[in-house]
Each structure stands twice: as C-alpha cells, then as structure tokens.
Structure 1
Amino acid sequence: MEMNQNQIMELLDALYEKSINGIPKLSQPIDVLANDYLSKNNSTEKAARQFVNYQVAKCTTSGFVTGLGGLITLPVTIPANVSSVMYVQMRMIACLAYMGGYDTSSDQVQTLVYACLAGISIDQIIKQAGIKFGTKFTTAMVKKIPSTVLTKINQKVGFRFLTKFGEKGIINIAKLVPVVGGVIGGGFDLVETKVIANRAYKMFIKGDLSALDDKDNEKIIDTAADIIKSQDESDN
C-alpha cells in the first residue's frame, strides 16, 4: 500500500469529519457522545476516564472493528481493520478534546487531534511561533495558533503516517508473520490505543502539551516486537 502526503491528509480529514459528525445508524455526533458521559459523572476527569476505558475495550473487539470497517467510506483504500481502528482512536481523541472545552470545529483543534493520533512532539513548533505557555496549555492558547504553524504540524503528521503506512511501517508489522497476524494485530491495537488515550487525556483534559512525545511510538514498536517474540516462543 503506497500513499502520498496529500492522500494521508485526505484520509485524516475524512476520518475526522466522521468522528465529529458520527456515522448514520452507527455512531452519534461527538457532542452528543461527550455530553452523555459528562452528564453521568460529577467531573470532567471522571467522565473522560470512563469514556477512555470503554473506547480502549471497543477498539480491540474484533467483531466491532470488522463490522465498522465495512461501513466507513474513505477517499483512500486501506484495510478495513486499519480504517476502523483509526476511526475509533481519532473519535476518542476528538471526544476528549470536546470534553476539555476545545472547539472541535476549529482548524487548530483538528490539527492537534491529528498530532495526538500520530504522536508527534509539537511544543517546540508552537514556542517558535511565539506562543508562550506555562505548565498548562489552555483553549485560549489553542485559538492563537496561526495557520503557518498548523501547516508545519500537518507536514510532520503527514510524514509520520507515510512512515507508518510504509512497507516497513508499524501497521504492516503483522504482515511479517502472517500466521499469527490476528494475534499480533489485536495486541498491537490494544497497546497503541492505550498509548493514544493516555496522551489525549493528558493533553486535552490536563492541558499537558508535553504529552505528545515521539518516544511513545518507540514503545508501541517495541511492544509489537515483544508480541511477535512471545507468540513465536509459544509456537516452539
């Protein structure tokens, strides 16, 4: 599967639109989903944690993932299981952003959601643009991010996903050992989604921009390698 950077952004834009607006007969708009959790909990933090726990479990449910993949129409053809997992992960991030009081219809928040999904560090890019923030990133600061900075962030996001979708990228690790691909895929999705959930919670609920750490991706790759190794040892 070969994709260029424009196709990557088209894919992300399509997933984001479906994440925010929902999919008819399948998923609610993001505001309805978020407000449902917020109304049932006495704090944003508690509502966010409850939501994340459910999303992580759902992302690793093969029946849900398979069924969802067949219902998502995208501008770029990618495996159904990949598109459905990405949808659940992006929707999870966007919902946490909404819970945190961020405007999910803004270009700034949309770009930050992409950065969170990709796991790229952006604090230095923002600081270089002259936007100062202390220990906590706020909704007001997000509104100040100019389009030139958003472009730079999206370029980093596009490059990260080009690598991820590449021949030796993360998503294709399971293809290296086709016999246990399902086992690797399920374990890999769980680890990746947990990492993404953690960084999204820190970023949008706690206002911790440093949660976007490139090292997260190294942890995901190492864990996938461990899954392959453990499966190989059990077969022997």
Structure 2
Amino acid sequence: MSPDVPRDEPTPAAAPDAQASGLDRRAADLVQRLLAVGIDGLGPFDGAAEVARAAREAHPTTESAVHAVVRQHSRLIAGNGFVTGLGGLLTLPVALPANVFAFHVLAVRAVAAVAELRGHDTSRPEVRSTVLLTLVGADATDVLKSAGLPTGGRLTGLLTSRVPRPVLMLVNKGVGFRIIARFGTQGLLRLPQRALPVVGGVVGAGVDTVMFRRIAKAAEHALPPRTPEQLA
C-alpha cells in the first residue's frame, strides 16, 4: 500500500462570530472618531460649538446663521484641500478611506453646529446620536427600530427622551454599520478621482455636495429650534 501523501489543508474561514465582532469594533471606532472630531474638535479643527458661536456672532438671526454654516461646509466639502489640510488626523486607522472620513467629519460638525444654534446641547448623548442619524438618510428609522426605538418616521423624539446608554450605543453602531456598508473600505465612490484627477475630482466634489445638502435638509427636520418651554 502506498504511503499517505500529505495534502494541503484548506485555510479555515474566519468564524462568523469573529467577523461580526470585527465589524462591531470598526463601526464603534468609526462613530467614536466622528463624534470626537466632528463635534468636539481636535487641535486646530474647531468643534461644533465654536463654529456655531462664530456664526451666531456674524449673523443677525438663528436661521441666517444656520444657512451660513451649511454654505460654509458645502464649500469645505467641495474643496480639494481638506484631507491634505488635516494631514495626520485623517490618516488615523478607521474603517473608511481618509477622504470619505473627511466628508463625514465635516457633515457631523455642520449638523452639530445647527443643533447648537437651535438650542440643543451637543454634549447630550441623545443629541449626538440624532446628529449621527442624519448621515444615513432614510435608513435612520430602521436603525432606531433595530435598537428598539420606533419613531413613526421622525427623529425628533430622540432629542427629548432619556435613552439608556446601551441603547444609544446600539443606535450609534447601527449608523457606523450603514456608513461602512455604503462606502466600503475601498471608497468606491472616490475611484474616479484616482483614475481621472481633474474630471473625477470635479465629479466627486459635485457628488459630495449633493450628499451633504441632503444631510443638511435632514438636519433641518431632525433638529428643530427648541421652544421657550424647553429652554426654560
């Protein structure tokens, strides 16, 4: 009888639980960084409260200040130098390419500044989660439902609620999952920029601007001005 010949054993696939755990970590890391940089600021990158304060000082009404913040961030998002300007900050290891992460940092800061201008405290976890939810559009309702928070299609209920921290963590992580799924680790929507730096860059800037305007529109509905009774 011929001797047994050793055969190469196939490499076992990663266990589903391990894959899920890795995705959990990436989603949690992503939203933590978005909140920390976009709302709180980092180094020379002003946080949302500073942006709101500057807009309030420069404009006579709350809504004119809100529109100014949206215009300012539309220009920043359309610009080509943002990623380079932040340098090492955006090369931190996250679940998205640096240019996609930059877009979301700016969107978070703009929405959070709108929240501040309209009387909402962005240090509150419920407000921070609402800011994140504006990033995922129509998926926001599904995120809330999966966390056990049915909203009837509106996000405003979260602002005035006291939600347990573990539930808000589920909400935030759900946003992270959807951002990662939408853009992937390769940043597919940004590939034309790499292939055709001039034409692709113009197209990419236009796509980003349209996406940001949708987010800003969602923020207008999700973050209404606080009433005098709420401010009292």
TM (norm. structure 2) is 0.71
Q: What whole-Å deviation, never above 9, does each CA across 1:44-85 have from its counterpart, x for those lacking one?
A: 111101111111111111023432254335342643322222
Q: Which of 41, 58, 70 is the matching residue for 1:22? A: 41
Query: Sequence identity of aligned pairs in percent?
Result: 29
Partner Cα separation in structure 1 for residue 90 and residue 60 of structure 2: 34
| Corresponding letter in the other structure for 1:98 | E
Provide the C-alpha distance between the structure 1 equivalents of 2:172 and 2:40, rounded to a whole number of angstroms.
Answer: 22
Q: Which residue of 1 aligns with 2:122?
A: 104
Check conservation: 1:40, 1:47, Cα contact below 8 A. Answer: yes
Structure 2 contact 83–99 (Cα < 8 Å) conserved: yes
SS of match in other structure, 1:23: coil
Residues 1:203 and 2:226 are matched in the alignment: no
Task: Please state if 1:118 is matched with 2:159.
Answer: no
* 1:8-36 deviations in Å (ceiling 9; x for gaps): 22122112112233232x32232222112
Contact 1:96-1:205 within 8 A present in 2 as well: no
Q: Extract structure 1 runs of 4+ deviating beyond 4 A.
A: 128-133
TM-score, normalized by length of structure 1?
0.70
- Conserved 8 A contact 2:96-2:184: no
CA distance in 2, matches of 1:200, 1:69: 28
Question: Which range is displaced more, 33-42 or 188-197?
Answer: 33-42
Deviation at 1:192, TM superposition (A): 1.0
Q: Which amino acid aligns with 1:8?
A: A
User: Where does structure 2 lack aligned partners over 5 or more consecutive residues?
Assistant: 1-18, 227-232
Query: Of 148, 156, 176, which residue of structure 2 is paired with 1:158?
Result: 176
- Counterpart-to-counterpart distance in 1, 2:105 and 2:151: 31
Partner residue in 2 for 1:214: none
What is the match of residue 71 of structure 1?
89
Amino acid of the structure 2 residue aligned with 1:175: L
Tell whether the 8 Å contact from 2:52 to 2:117 is kept in structure 1 after alignment. yes
Q: Which residue of 2 aligns with 1:4?
A: 23
Matched, 1:81 2:99: yes
Cα–Cα, structure 1 residues 85 and 187, in superposed 2: closer, same or farther, change >3 Å? same
Give secondary structure in 2 for the equivalent of 1:71: helix
Letter in 2 for 1:38: R
User: Structure 1 residues 138 and 163 mapped into 2: Cα distance closer, same or farther (>3 Å)?
Assistant: closer
| 2:191 counterpart of 1:175 | yes
Q: Which residue of 1 aligns with 2:10?
A: none
Aligned-pair CA distance for 1:40: 2.5
Q: Structure 1: where are the runs of 5+ without partners?
A: 208-236
Whether 1:53 and 2:53 are equivalent positions in the alignment is no
In the other structure, the counterpart of 2:6 is: none
Secondary structure, counterpart of 1:125 in structure 2: helix
Q: How many residues align?
A: 201
What is the SS of the residue equivalent to 2:89? coil
Deviation at 1:149, TM superposition (A): 4.1
Alignment partners' CA distance in 2, 1:138 and 1:40: 31
Task: Specify the SS of the correspondent of 1:76.
Answer: coil
* Largest Rg, 1 or 2: 2
CA contact (8 A) 2:155 2:222 kept: no
Query: Which one-letter code corresponds to 1:204 in the other structure?
Result: L
Shift of 1:118: 2.2
RMSD over aligned CA atoms reads 3.4
User: Hey, what's the Cα distance between the residues in 1 that align with 2:162 and 2:152?
Assistant: 10
- Does structure 2 conserve the Cα–Cα contact (< 8 Å) formed by 1:60 and 1:186? yes
Identify the residue that residue 60 of structure 2 maps to in structure 1: 42
Classify 1:73/1:21 alpha carbon distance in 2 versus 1 (closer, same or farther; 3 Å): farther
